[in-house]
Every structure is written in structure tokens, then in C-alpha cells.
Amino acid sequence: MLNGLLTGWGLNLPDFVTCLFAGILVINLGPLVLRRVHVPERSRSLALISDLSLGLFLAMSLMSLQLWTLGGLGGPILLLLVAQVVIVTLFVIFVVFRLMGRDYDAAVMSAGYAGLALGATPTAIANMTAVTEKFGASAKAFVVVPLVGAFFIDIANALIIQFLLDVFS
């Protein structure tokens, strides 16, 4: 319904962006509206389901890749991959970490940004989870990185693509 409403206003967003927005609304407004419903925050069962879902997503994503179709492009792809890793690493160390405040939360957000730059939001979550399992929780990073990586970037991309399509078509 939300996607249909936005389309009626001339804003075409991918379905998953409006689903993300609806999920944000439900998880944040649900406990306020339904005060008797218990939301399992920070429970072991919720952590287990989160880890299982992330693992399944990453496994399905990797299994669906048809790497054999890229056989002749191995050398150039490897060169691009090495260059991307070096550039992202330098950018994370010298820009992201410093701009985020040079503290533990900044380190976790930097790990998340590296995951975003080298993959996608689930990769960022996996990176941040690896850091926080070893050194402790960072609630700030787990709010900022998924919102920016999964929601704001998708909205910005949709708006920019729609604008460019309108300009050049």
C-alpha cells in the first residue's frame, strides 16, 4: 500500500525500500501502540534468529553466483578487487574512523563501512558482529550503519536514478 501511495505521488521506489520503511515503523511504533505486547529485545533467541538469517542470506547469495561465467576475466577482476580493498582500507582508516569520533563506536562503524564498500548491508552487519563479539557491544553502530546502508542509500539511489531517467529520457 505504501509503495502504491508513493507511486501515485510520482516517486517510484523498489518494493524492498518501502518494506524496510514499514519495518522501521512497526518495530519502533509497535511497542508504543501495543503496550501489552512483549518485544524480545537483546534476547538469546532473537540473536540466534538474527545470526541464522544473516548466515542463510550470505550462503544463498554466494551459492547463486555463477563464477564460471567469468573465467576469462580472472586477472582483471583480481586486480580491481585488490585495488578496491586497498582504497577502502585507506579510506576507512584515514577518513571514516576519524570522522566518526576515533572511539570504539567509530571502529565498529568503520568495520561496517568496510562491509558496505566491499559488499552490501549484510556484509556490514557480519563485519560489525565479528568485532562486537570479540570486543563488546556497540548499539550506536548497529543503529547507524544499517539505517544508512540499507535505507537511506536505497532512497537516495532511487531518487537519483529517477531524476536521471527524467532528465535523459
Q: What is the pLDDT of residue 37?
A: 67
Q: Which SS3 state, helix, strand or coil, does residue 88 take?
A: helix
Summarize pLDDT for 76-110 with one digit per residue, the tens. 888 999 999 999 999 999 999 999 999 999 999 99
Give the H/E segment covering residue 55: helix 44-63
Q: How remote is the C-alpha of 26 from its chain's centroid? A: 19
Taking only the tens place, the pLDDT of each residue in 25-76 is 777 777 777 777 666 666 788 788 888 888 888 788 778 777 777 778 878 8
Each residue's pLDDT tens digit, 12-28: 777 777 777 787 777 77
* Residue 7 confidence (pLDDT): 80
Domain residue ranges of the chain, discontinuous segments joined by +: 75-168
Residue appearing with cell numbers 550503519: 145
H or E element: which one contains 3? helix 2-8
CA angle 152, 64, 17 (to 5 degrees): 20
Residue type, 19: C
Question: Average pLDDT in the 129-137 region?
Answer: 92
Task: Give the mean model confidence (pLDDT) for residues 130-138.
Answer: 91
Asked whether the whole model's pTM tops 0.75, one would answer no
Can you say whether residue 138 is alpha, beta or left, with left for phi > 0 and alpha for psi between -120 and 50 degrees? beta
Residues 31 and 39: beta-carbon distance below 8 Å: yes
